[in-house]
Every structure is written in structure tokens, then in C-alpha cells.
Structure 1
Amino acid sequence: MITYKKKTVGAALAAVLLVGGATACESGKKDESGKKDGAGKAAGASAEPARPVADGKAAEALTAAYKKTSAAKSVKVRMTIKEPSALDGGTVEMTGVQGWDPAVMDVTVKGQFSKSAVPGTPESMRAIMSKNVMYMDIGAENAADMDGKRWMKLDLNAAMEAAGAKGKNGLGGMNGLSGMNQSQDPAKQLALLLDSPNLKQVGSEKAEGVDADHYRGTLTFEQVLAANESSKLMPEDERKQLADNMKKSGIKGYDMDVWVNKDGYPVRMKVGMDTPQGAMTMDASYSDYGAAATVETPADDETFDLFGMLGKLKDGGAGA
């Protein structure tokens, strides 16, 4: 019988925060047919931008890049996220492969904060996602407290449903696990950049060792929030409060840069946001578009369910 220990629970929750800051999941309501509302596409598919707001060659080039990227359905990724206000230094790194339509991934995530924040949290963690279920390897040390089960399972659909049900006092108060709902699908990032009213081509330069065209645009926080499918699940008053809080914190908007190679694919994307604590950035490099992104999930007897564990703790079923 599994005995849950506070250290193991803390490490498991730290894993959610670590992986959630760097990974993607598909969100949005479904209609009765099971399709995503608005897009009418299968889970993981990118909705084509309704219109390029900016005029000219930059919008035309990025629209073409969007179509090629969306059709590729998978890519190898190397990403660094820096957030000075959090995570004991705030650097999270991710490498691996991710796919969309359907949404899958198999990545290794590293975070500076892991050891110092929660003893027992691995410095390097593998994360796998398939069919909107996330699996995180919590390491051998924590697995010893879980009858040898080292893979934590988190059903992201269930998490979002719980967020909606709990409202401000539960997960919904965290914007429905918002860190996990910020899709890093490069096609969606291109679609977002196309909404910038000041999109422009900066020039041509080397990026990731190849010749590329550099494009830049800015968006307000309201524009980003409006484009985020997960934010549409929030009650209107919570969404407004979130926007107001961002304004009060001094965050005005986002700077977005993308480098597109001669084949029409983005090879690098960078998103920056100035905060009172310093600059927060996401810097991603992409290669091998169309690379196989099939993943093999852990066997059931190697996993434990995070929601189930927390439920047993709440009911008093935990050990020391």
C-alpha cells in the first residue's frame, strides 16, 4: 500500500510547476460533437489566424510560415524560459520533441530551483504528454515512497474541469493552471504575432546557424489574453481582474521576435515581457520540422495519479 509523505507530495507539486512553465497542452471547450469550439479541429490543431492585422510583406511572409508550420505537425525544440520573479532564479530549460494535431511531446525539463525549493525534486525531469494526459518522472528517490512508481500522471482535462468548478478559491484562482495552458506550438505563436498592429521585418541575419528573416511585433496583455483559448474558460469578472492586476503590476505587453529560414519555417522565437522584477523571456529554437513525434506512455503499473493522491491526503488517508 502506498504511503504518501509530505516530501513526495511537495516534489510532485513542484514537478507540475516546473514542467507546466515550459510545456504545452491544448485547451478550450468542446461542442457536442467533441470538436473544439471555434476552430472545429481535432485536439492540438492550430486555428488559422482570421486576419493579418499588419499590412505588407511581413504579414504575407508570416502567414505563409504559419501554414507550413501548422502542416508540419511536429518539431524538435530547445527552449529556455527566464522569470526573475519566481523559481529561485527563474530559469527553466526544455529540450525534446513536440507535436500538434494531435498534441504530444517527449521532453526533458531542467530548472535551477528544483533542489532548493523542494528536497527530492529531480534537477532534470522527463515529461511525456499524449491524449492530454501528462506524465512526469519524479525520480528514483521519490519513487521509493510510491511503491516504486516513478511516473506521476496528471489528466489535464480533469485539471481544467476542476479549475472551473473550484473558482477563485481553487485552481480557477490560478487561471486554470495557466502555466500549463500557454501553448508553445510555434504555429500558434506565429498566429499570435500576426495580430500585432506594428508587425515589421527587422532585417535578414543568421539564426541557429542559418540565414533567416527577422520579424518583430508587440502586443498588449489584453490582446494576448483575448487570443488565449484557456482564458475564455474563465468567468468574465476573473478575466477582467487578471487584466487589471497585470496593469497594476506595471506589465504593459509583450515583445515578440521570430526568425524564419529560407524554407519558410521559424527557427527561433523569442517572447519578452518587462516586469517590475526584471525581464521575463521565452527563447525557443526549432529544427527538424515533421520529425516523428510519436510517444510511448508509461504502463499503468508504473504511474500514480496526482489527483487521486491529493484526494486521499484530503480524506486523511496519508501516512507520515
Structure 2
Amino acid sequence: MRFAFRMLTGVAGVALLAGTAACGSEDGSSESRTTTEERGGGDASAALQAAAESTSEMHSARFEGEMTAPASAGGQTTMEGVMSWDPSLTMQMSVSGEELAATPGAPQEIEVRWLDNVMYMHMGAEFGAEMGGAEWLSMDLAAIAEESGDAAMADAMSMGLESAGQDPAQQVAMLLSAPGIEEVGEETLNGVETRHYAGTMSVEDAVAGDQSGLAEVLTEEEVEQLVATMEQQGIDGYDLDIWIDENDLPVQVRQSYETPEGPVEYEVRYSDFNTEVSVEQPAAELVIDFMELIEELNAELS
């Protein structure tokens, strides 16, 4: 088998990072919302609270982004696609990056589809030739954890990001919990006028979520999951930057944090909120399950 296991799990982790919108909150209310323009942009916390509420009313968006991580965690990776997180996560995106480029036989770009809590990755013709024509690899993380009986393996597959709050509304809510939140200033991004806000959220800030704006958008369970994820990854805190347009919607979000393996930075740009999302499941005969692949790899090594 020529495809590196680390490459497979790395692509899965990037997809999870882009797609954890499934745990987004839906508590926003358009009746109580005040736009940034109406407020005049003077109060950073109020501006972000309105943005979190506005974004929680959205159910889908187009996105593009980059993740920069240590080489051991996949290096530089880019992604682009569309996703819906209401009522459940549906996503289609393309992923490319250093890990793919360095893997012999791997395609330069992998298409990822997410349907019914199962992720499908199009691994290309060479992979299909080795797998009897199955060019798609499926991953059901719940099934993987159950079948393996190894919680550590499930955590590794998801890179600990299932609960990291990457939904746009949750990203804004995370910044709300930062005690030193401030408005950086007005900036134009791709022709869109925005206001740039920045802050740092520590584990202690997340624990005190009920004392801050975080509890206004995230449930108590989501705050607990966020804290657990940060502790699992050895993360002390996030540096967060968010650019919000005149409609109180995030145009760009940047997160950076230190891990035991080195610094990680994730930047994503959103557009076309509430766009239609239609994703097709690959034909069954073209799909091989991840656990079946593991069995084949074990057979090769035995």
C-alpha cells in the first residue's frame, strides 16, 4: 500500500476542522438583533454578540481556507467547498497540501464529501487500482471508535477537533469569552467593508463560559467539550481574529494556537450564506471502508 496512513488521517482531520458546524447553536433571534451599522461599531462585545446571533440563524455557507501546522501534523493545507450544518452536517470540499504532494501515488487534490455522519474521500485512480476499483475511502468515526474499542484512535482520527467549535457562530462566541477583546479597526477584504476584532481565549476563559458571552451562544455541554478538546491537545489558549461585515456576518476567521508539536494557524473565509447545498453519496461499489483498509494493511504486514 503506497498511501501513507498519516496522509489519510491528516485529510480527515482537515475535513473535521472545516466541518464541525454540526454542533452549532441555534439560539439566535432576528427580532432582538441590532446590526453593527445601527450600533455605530462602538462596543466590541455587543458587535460580536450580534454577529454570533446573526450567524446562528444561517444554515449553510461557502468557505475557503488554509491550515498551517508542523510537518508532523500535515504541514500546509488548503481547502475550498460548501457546507450546511442545519439540521446536520453536509459538506463537499477539495483539499490539497504538502502532505498530499509528498505522498507517492496520491492525487494532488482530494474531494471530500460528508453525508449522514460519514466522510467520503476520493483517493484517485491509483488508489482505486490497488483497491479493486474502489476510488473512494469512507470514514464513519463513530463506527471506527466502536469497532476498534480504542478511544485514543478515534481522537487521533479527528485530531481532537470534533468539539473545537469551528462553526462560524461558535467561532464568534469563542472570541466573546476573551477578557481583552478589542476592535482592531476597519478593513476591506476582497472588496467587502469589515470590522476586525481580536482577542485571546484561554482554557480558564472557556471554563468560565457561563460568566461571559460564550454561554450566550454555546450550550453548557459544548463549553465542556471545548475545554476538554483544548486540554486533550495541550492547548493553553487560542489567539482569535474575526472580520465582520455590515450584516453582522463573519467574512474571515483566523485561529492560532500552540500545540506540543508546534504552532498551528487556521484561517477560513465565508461567503454566500444560506446557499443551497446538494451532495451525492458515491456509488457503493466505488467505496472501501476505512476499517476494511486497515485490515488489508495489517494483512500486508503480517
TM-score under structure 2 normalisation?
A: 0.78
Report what 1:157 is aligned to. 142
1:257 to 241, 263, 267: 241
**CA separation of 1:26 and 1:156: change in aligned 2, threshold 3 A:** farther
1:181-206 C-alpha deviation (Å, 9 max, x unpaired): 54532112112111212222222121
Shift of 1:21: 2.6
SS of corresponding position for 1:134: strand
Report what 1:185 is aligned to. 167
1:243 to 204, 228, 231: 231
Shift of 1:175: 8.3
Report what 1:3 is aligned to. none
1:7 matched to 2:31: no
Aligned Cα root-mean-square deviation (Å):
3.4
1:139 matched to 2:124: yes
Shift of 1:86: 2.9
Q: Is the CA contact 2:7–2:99 (under 8 Å) kept in the aligned structure 1?
A: no
Report what 1:301 is aligned to. 285
SS of corresponding position for 1:284: strand
2:179 to 194, 197, 204: 197
Report what 1:32 is aligned to. none
Report what 1:174 is aligned to. 156
Report what 2:253 is aligned to. 269
1:64 to 36, 50, 75: 50
1:10-67 C-alpha deviation (Å, 9 max, x unpaired): 36x522312413534559xxxxxxxxxxxxxxx5442659xxxxxx822222121112
The one-letter amino acid paired with 2:200 is: T
Shift of 1:210: 1.1
1:98-134 C-alpha deviation (Å, 9 max, x unpaired): 1211211100001112232x32222211000011110
Shift of 1:268: 0.7
Distance 1:231 1:85 in 2: 30
Percent identical: 30
**CA separation of 1:286 and 1:156: change in aligned 2, threshold 3 A:** same
**CA separation of 1:244 and 1:292: change in aligned 2, threshold 3 A:** closer
Q: Which runs of 5+ in 2 are unaligned?
A: 29-41, 210-217
Q: Which moved more, 1:304-313 or 1:211-220?
A: 304-313
1:105 matched to 2:91: yes
TM-score under structure 1 normalisation?
A: 0.74
Q: Which moved more, 1:221-230 or 1:294-303?
A: 221-230
Q: Is the CA contact 1:255–1:272 (under 8 Å) kept in the aligned structure 2?
A: yes
Q: Which moved more, 1:64-73 or 1:15-24?
A: 15-24
Q: How many residues align?
A: 277
